[in-house]
Amino acid sequence: MMASSYNAKDEDGHITVTGPGGGTLRSKKPENTAFKQQRLPAWQPILTAGTVLPAFFIIGLIFIPIGIGLYVTSNNIKEFEVDYTGVDMSSPCFNCSQNFSWNSTTPCTCTIPFFLEQPYESNVFMYYGLSNFYQNHRRYVKSRDDSQLNGDMTSLKEPSKECEPYAYHDNKPIAPCGAIANSMFNDTLELFYNDPNGTKVQIPLTNIGIAWWTDKHVKFKNPGAGEANQNLTAVFQGTTKPLNWRRPVYELDAAANNNGFINEDFIVWMRTAALPTFRKLYRIIKSPSNGMMPTMPRGNYTLEVVYNYPVRSFEGRKRMILSTISWMGGKNPFLGIAYITVGSVCFFLGVVLLIIHHKCGNRNNSADISN
Amino acid sequence: MDFSLLRNIISRYCVGEEIWVDSRTVYIGHKEPPPGAEAYIPQRYPDNRIVSSKYTFWNFIPKNLFEQFRRIANFYFLVIFLVQLIIDTPTSPVTSGLPLFFVITVTAIKQGYEDWLRHKADCSINECPVDVVQQGKVVRTQSHKLRVGDIVVVREDETFPCDLILLSSSRHDGTCYVTTTSLDGESSHKTYYAVPDTMAFRTEREVDSLHATIECEQPQPDLYKFVGRINIYTDKEEPVARTLGAENLLLRGATLKNTQHIYAVAVYTGMETKMALNYQSKSQKRSAVEKSMNAFLIVYLCILISKAVINTVLKYAWQWSPDRDEPWYNHRTENERQRHVVIRAFTDFLAFMVLFNYIIPVSMYVTVEMQKFLGSYFITWDEEMFDEELGEGAQVNTSDLNEELGQVEYVFTDKTGTLTENNMEFIECCVDGNVYIPHAICNGQILSAASSIDMIDSSPGGYRREHEDLFFRALCLCHTVQVKEEETVDGIKRGIHQGRPTSFYISSSPDEVALVEGMKRLGYTYLRLKDNYMEILNKDDEIERFELLHVLNFDSVRRRMSVIVRSSSGEYLLFCKGADSSIFPRVVSGKVEQVKARVEQNAVEGLRTLCVAYRRLSQSEYEEACHQLTEAKLALQDREQRLAQAYDIIERDFVLLGATAVEDRLQEKAADTIESLHKAGMKVWVLTGDKMETAAATCYASKLFRRSTQILELTKKRTEEQSLHDVLFELNRTVLRQRSISGLSVDCLDFGLIIDGATLSAVLKPNQERANPSNYREIFLEICRNCSAVLCCRMAPLQKAQIVKLIKASKEHPITLAIGDGANDVSMILEAHVGIGIMGKEGRQAARNSDYAIPKFKHLKKMLLVHGHYYYIRIAELVQYFFYKNVCFIFPQFLYQFFCGFSQQPLYDTAYLTLYNISFTSLPILLYSLVEQHVTMETLKREPSLYRDIAKNSLLRWPVFLYWTCLGVFDAVIFFFGAYFLFDNTTFTSNGQLMTTNTQMMFGNWTFGTLVFTVLVFTVTLKLALDTHHWTWINHFVIWGSLLFYVIFSLLWGGIIWPFLNYQRMYYVFMQMLSSGPAWLSIILLITVSLLPDVIKKVLCRAVCPTATERAQSTRPCLTVEPSTIFMLSQSSSRMSF
């Protein structure tokens, strides 16, 4: 206690030197600089009703048109949604959803007819949507090995601990490891257009360009991607497929540039969604090159589903969504409404402030005079 | 406590078999006692090294770490860090480890640097030269090499290097004079005595021949207690034993005065000296802001814990069904599954704690410390607080209290030297009612003496003539002034400067100097004290010689001093001067009435008065007095008491000669300063040891009391007439009645209270009678509360501290400030919340013990009204803003838990979590808290009433805190749900059109977090920008710079596959987000919405009920007539248009 209490000063930084010969030669006159004298030239704005009023009106005037624009654009976007979970008895997929088992070798298919009331122009985007699926669960989000997905050979053979319990199966490393990969969406969706003349035309679906370019080309790489003629089957030798997958990773797609880790369906799935209800891009329906015909004309369609993905156990839902896009993305009325609301509120506040400003300004002035 | 105990045990253990004995034996000159003498147990003593440093090179790291983690905040962060290391938590340990490491390192460096300075200071003390007698020669050595038993030579004006027993001095009577200013603050000279057996030693050789031992008690901190015995061995005889007392012990830190040199032997050295034992670290003062900050912290800790508890409970409620707990796509590992559910729940709770722990930010402590440390430089840099005369500016001794300067409610000020200049000037004297006024000095030259005496009453008479002669001689003789030739004192410089070698007077009391100089102007010049004869040059240029027989020193109890002299004609005369109250009762003849009237008149004018009396002693009377004095002086026990008795007997039966008046001028702008303090809503109390009339006059002059002030007196005179009880109640009634009449407008009539020391102690004394003890106290406080100014006179130093303590403890707990310049103010400076020392004439004692030191009283105005105000608003914003920005930061994470199955999934990336407080949002607020000026300095100085706006910690009260917290929660809700509605069930995507590939890409959870985070960073930074009223180029640079830094960092962070990371989740997330039109639109929208309520609140408050500060801000444009301001504005606008 004594030793610790015997200090010139305890916590601060200024020590006075005392004792014999401790006369301190102290500072001379402080420098007269603007900074040291706290006299730096400064702009001194004050938020008064007077200065804020124009800002409010301007915000109002800018936001409302933007909002209207957004709202109109959003409304022009056509969107169609089909729930094919098969919860109801009447649903065509009811049987598939009831009789689901991981081990069944014969795929269960179901067919859902639907009717598009409006023709869909330009590119149409086809999504699958899941609800009540917690892709953002912490245990789930971290259950992946990014270096394995980046083509690292050691990580391929020794997946990260984060992948547990989806890292090894039968003492073989799982490629791709982790819960995310293991639970990859594996329903196959196909669209048919029922021509009025009775023929059933399959609509061509593109599965290229649905993932981020950087993901496909930089972040995700097949192991040994640098080699000249890589054989994916050989590269993945010694690993095993994720438990729930029907095919190994090197058989995801026939095309070499869409196989293995760089399969775009896989990449899309690997980007974990933010919320438990989400949709992911499945396919793109390119507009026909001649441009005269709408991509999807008004009429009857059939959705053929190979029902592989169980969601009933966690009360989930599966949907197929068709949507066109605009410059602002997909259908999103929220942004437009929000802009209109905020703009109007600002405008309204501007008016209120104007009144207050006039009233109080006068009162203050009179008060000043009386002083 | 336990530490010292441990130390003792260890030191004892190390000494080995040594037994802890009650006394120590010192061998003078290290000579063993002759054989046959009592065998002493040898003891080991520390060397004379003073250690004020905390650490050594070796123990710095462990000890410093230990001390740092004793702080509750650091400990909290350490625990969080350890939890992160041990259990599987959502964020990596780096997120809390890195900031903690940073904080600890910065603090350690700062403390290490301070300790290094202390080491240096210690070194300079320990290595200062000391002369030691060894083998009959004087050897120069370093102070720290001094050991117990060494014989030390100390010369005049040197400081004693350790506690010494006086052996002999250059004075014949074996005495020496010492001032103990640096020990106890008493500036008077004290006499110390040598033992008669050793006082004859004159040379080193003689001293060295001494063969003696000293037995004394072990060191103890009481400065005035010492018990010892010296055994002197002579060759043949029995050893002579003499008792030693406190009057033989010279204490380290005291200074030798008026004695050429002394020989003394060291008994206590180093850390065992009484000074070292007495050195108590100042109790750490904590500011009100710090207290509210801690209160807020506790609130946030509760919020944090409740958040974690809520989430844990909800988590287990939610995952009751196994399909939610472990759906097929998301299994636990076997290990986890086997864990007991209670352990799992507890781990989850800890994980939530870790996830939300950022709500209590590490960086706040660092920022606050930095703000205080750096901010205090503005005080030292302030040119306006620089005093040309002293060559010194304001000094900051502690930066912890900067903001407290803006919270002062009570100012306690000393009078002499603080309000007044302590520059005494002789004004007049009166002899038997006849007034003499010396003419003013012109350019240092004294006008001819003959013309200077103003003969008011020219009635001749031997009686009058005689008194006049005696009076002037009395003033020339009755003092302890010393005459110094110029060269000997201040070097040759001033002598040359003056052109001629003159002598001047020095004394511990400026009054005495003023009196002797006044006498000089009236024609009687005190020349010198030579061989015990005082020489006076009288009006007729004749030298008169008086033999100085005895000096009865001044002390503050007697309040007088006397000398006994023998005139050339062989007469014995006793001259006495002192305070009127101590002289008049002892006067038997003289024109008491006239003198008394004059004294009172002078006192009313604010002059310091002294009365002069004399007594003629017959030979026998003199001999008796002489006998009494010598007896008392030689007494071994109770010397002080016996001397006082002797003085009391001798100093009586006076004949009154007259009185003197000395003026102590008010300090420059003292009145203006006090007026400003009053306007700022502070109550100013003057605490002085002076008498009531003088003090009251000063108070009027300094505008503490105005003509309109109704004075309430609570003095001894009144309490003698009525009982204290009645007086108190009567005053209380007066005050209350006035208040009830005037109703709301209390200001129209203010009260001033005058109380004296005696009455005060009666009020404070625990009451023995029927009334309960605190009753008087309460009434007194009630009266004081209604008085705008209070004058306490006749105060003892300790009473000053008592008053401060009393006010501090009253039920409003007001913030007090004490300002003083002398050693007698130290107690109150230490007691008050803020202690300010004036670098005055009475030494630097007050300045050294203060928290802030200023050269003049007038600087208090800028210190409080400008610096205090600024520091307060700055730190208040700093504290509130820090909590606000962390609510904004963490609350979205809390909300996110509801959408991710309470799985502790962090919303933001690790890098964002870590850097948010450290780099993205730290600099703007730090800069704000250093340079913000919501109102210009000129306005603050011109309108002291603005100070009232921030009184009572107004910016950190609970409603304000609640507002900030609600604002934070609101903003957080906006951020989160804004992003939520964009993502929820809609295709919130990036439009590929901006990119080369024509695709639609989906956003994941990291984009969601990044969007929220971007809005967050921009909002909190812009919120600060809205609060900034003073945009210098640095503000622009830092605010826009830190936003830019965020963007650049994010681009970089997402732009590269970082090889050292095991995840790449942020890869291209930020760029993809920016390539999406809706993202831009929503960022703009969310920022606008978040800032809107605060803007509206500000504008509405300003428009509907503006505070004085806000009025001052808005009236500013009208008042910018000053060219400097216009210049500034034009400059800044040109900068803006750049």
Mean pLDDT of B146-167: 87
Q: Do both A137 and A264 map to the same domain?
A: yes
CB contact under 8 A, A48 and B1077: no
Q: Do both A261 and A311 map to the same domain?
A: yes
Mean pLDDT of B734-756: 68
A144 contact residues in B (CB cutoff 8 A): 1063
Mean pLDDT of B237-265: 82
Q: Mutation test of the interface with chain B: which of A1, A4, A5, A6, choosing the one with the most B Cβ atoms within 10 A?
A: A6
Q: Do both A57 and A196 map to the same domain?
A: no
CA distance B331 to B368: 46
Q: Mutation test of the interface with chain B: which of A53, A275, A282, A323, choosing the one with the most B Cβ atoms within 10 A?
A: A275
Q: Specify the CATH class of B401-419+667-739+749-766+774-854 in words.
A: alpha beta
Separation in Å, CA of B1033 to nearest CA in chain A: 7
Instruction: List the catalytic residues of B.
Output: 414
pLDDT at A339: 94
Look at residue A31 and tell me if it is in a domain: no
Mean pLDDT of B1046-1058: 92
CB contact under 8 A, B1064 and A219: yes
- The nearest alpha carbon in chain B to A30 belongs to B381
Query: In this prediction, what percent of chain B has a pLDDT beyond 90?
Result: 20
How does pLDDT run across B674-683, given as a tens digit for each residue?
Answer: 999 989 989 9
CB contact under 8 A, B1030 and A42: yes
CA distance B463 to B657: 11
Q: Please tell me which residue, B778 or B986, carries the higher pLDDT value.
A: B778
Mean pLDDT of B58-70: 87
Q: Do both A215 and A349 map to the same domain?
A: no
Annotated ligand binding at B987? The verdict is no
Q: Do both A64 and A160 map to the same domain?
A: no
Residue with tokens 């020489």: B535
CB contact under 8 A, B997 and A8: no
Model-wide pTM > 0.90: no
B143 contact residues in A (CB cutoff 8 A): 20
Q: Do both A241 and A352 map to the same domain?
A: no
Q: Do both A188 and A262 map to the same domain?
A: yes
Residue B410 has pLDDT above 70, yes or no: yes
pLDDT at A2: 35
Look at residue A146 and tell me if it is in a domain: yes
pLDDT at A370: 38
- 3-class state of residue A122 by DSSP: coil
Q: Do both A93 and A71 map to the same domain?
A: no
In whole angstroms, how large is the CA radius of gyration of chain B?
Answer: 37
Q: CB of B1108 within 8 A of CB of B949?
A: yes
The Cα-based distances of B859 to A271, B402, B837, B853 in angstroms read 65, 15, 11, 10
Q: What is the mean pLDDT of chain B?
A: 80
- 3-class state of residue B167 by DSSP: strand
B1008 contact residues in A (CB cutoff 8 A): 274-275
SS3 per residue for B332-382: CCHHHHHCCHHHHHHHHHHHHHHHHHHHCCHHHHHHHHHHHHHHCHHHHHC
Q: Do both A71 and A156 map to the same domain?
A: no
Q: CB of B886 within 8 A of CB of B893?
A: no
- Closest to A29 in 3D by CA, of B378, B387, B853, B375: B387
Q: How many CB atoms lie within 10 A of CB A63?
A: 23
Structure tokens belonging to residue B257 = 């005065």
Q: Do both A183 and A276 map to the same domain?
A: yes
- Closest to B816 in 3D by CA, of B420, B401, B1096: B401
Structure tokens belonging to residue A210 = 């649905």
The torsion region of residue B429 among left (phi > 0), alpha (psi -120 to 50) and beta comes to beta
B977 contact residues in A (CB cutoff 8 A): none
B391 contact residues in A (CB cutoff 8 A): 26, 28-29
Q: Please tell me which residue, A137 or B741, carries the higher pLDDT value.
A: A137
CB contact under 8 A, B1067 and A356: no
CB contact under 8 A, A7 and B52: yes
Q: CB of B691 within 8 A of CB of B664?
A: no
Q: Of B458-467, B724-733, B898-907, give the range with the top mean pLDDT.
A: B898-907
How does pLDDT run across A183-228, given as a tens digit for each residue?
Answer: 999 899 999 999 888 889 999 999 888 888 888 888 998 888 776 6
CB contact under 8 A, B1100 and A17: no
Annotated ligand binding at B991? The verdict is no
CA distance B297 to B293: 6
Domain covering B429-449+465-486+502-659 in this structure, CATH number: 3.40.1110.10
Q: CB of B786 within 8 A of CB of B735?
A: yes
CA distance B730 to B780: 11
Look at residue A114 and tell me if it is in a domain: yes
Is residue B637 very low, low, confident or very high in pLDDT (cuts 50, 70, 90)?
low
B1099 contact residues in A (CB cutoff 8 A): 47-49, 52, 353
Residue with tokens 């939530």: B352
List the single range of B488-497, B527-536, B537-546 with lowest mean pLDDT: B488-497
Is residue B484 very low, low, confident or very high in pLDDT (cuts 50, 70, 90)?
low
Q: Do both A274 and A174 map to the same domain?
A: yes
Q: Of B211-225, B591-605, B892-906, give the range with the top mean pLDDT.
A: B892-906
Residues B146-278, CATH architecture: Distorted Sandwich (2.70)
CA distance B840 to B853: 10
Q: Please tell me which residue, B147 or B996, carries the higher pLDDT value.
A: B147
Annotated ligand binding at B415? The verdict is yes
Annotated ligand binding at B2? The verdict is no
* Domain ranges, ordered by start, for chain B: 52-80+87-128+337-359, 146-278, 366-376+878-987+1003-1113, 401-419+667-739+749-766+774-854, 429-449+465-486+502-659
Look at residue A25 and tell me if it is in a domain: no
CB contact under 8 A, A209 and B399: no
Residue with tokens 């993205």: B920
CB contact under 8 A, B986 and A330: yes
Q: Mutation test of the interface with chain A: which of B1099, B1101, B1104, B1113, choosing the one with the most A Cβ atoms within 10 A?
A: B1099
What ranges in chain A are assigned the alpha helix state H?
A: 2-5, 49-76, 94-98, 138-141, 146-149, 153-157, 179-182, 213-214, 232-235, 264-270, 333-370
Which one-letter amino acid corresponds to residue B366? V
Provide the domain count of chain A: 2
- The nearest alpha carbon in chain B to A56 belongs to B1092
Domain, as residue range, for A71: 49-77+331-360
Residue B1125 has pLDDT above 60, yes or no: no
Partner-chain residue, chosen from B52, B1057, B1082, that has the shortest CB–CB distance to A8: B52
CB contact under 8 A, A6 and B1089: no
Mean pLDDT of B106-133: 85
Look at residue A366 and tell me if it is in a domain: no
Q: Please tell me which residue, B736 or B987, carries the higher pLDDT value.
A: B736
pLDDT at B187: 55
- 3-class state of residue B659 by DSSP: strand
Mean pLDDT of B827-855: 82
Look at residue A37 and tell me if it is in a domain: no
Look at residue A136 and tell me if it is in a domain: yes
- The nearest alpha carbon in chain A to B283 belongs to A10
Is residue B491 very low, low, confident or very high in pLDDT (cuts 50, 70, 90)?
very low
pLDDT at B1083: 93
How does pLDDT run across B948-962, given as a tens digit for each residue?
Answer: 989 888 889 999 999
Q: How many CB pairs under 8 A join A and B?
A: 381
Q: Do both A299 and A313 map to the same domain?
A: yes
Annotated ligand binding at B464? The verdict is no
Is residue B448 very low, low, confident or very high in pLDDT (cuts 50, 70, 90)?
very low
CA distance A266 to A283: 13
Annotated ligand binding at B546? The verdict is no
CB neighbour burial string for B273-301, b if at least 16 within 10 angstroms, e if fewer: bbbbbebeebeebebbbbebbeebbeebe
A37 contact residues in B (CB cutoff 8 A): 381-383
Partner-chain residue, chosen from A47, A212, A332, that has the shortest CB–CB distance to B986: A332
The torsion region of residue A19 among left (phi > 0), alpha (psi -120 to 50) and beta comes to left
Query: Running along chain A, 371 residues long, what does each successive block of 10 average in pLDDT?
Result: 34 36 50 87 85 91 94 89 89 86 81 92 88 91 91 89 88 91 92 89 89 88 76 87 90 87 92 89 85 84 92 90 80 88 94 84 48 37
Annotated ligand binding at B821? The verdict is yes
Partner-chain residue, chosen from A70, A314, A353, that has the shortest CB–CB distance to B324: A314
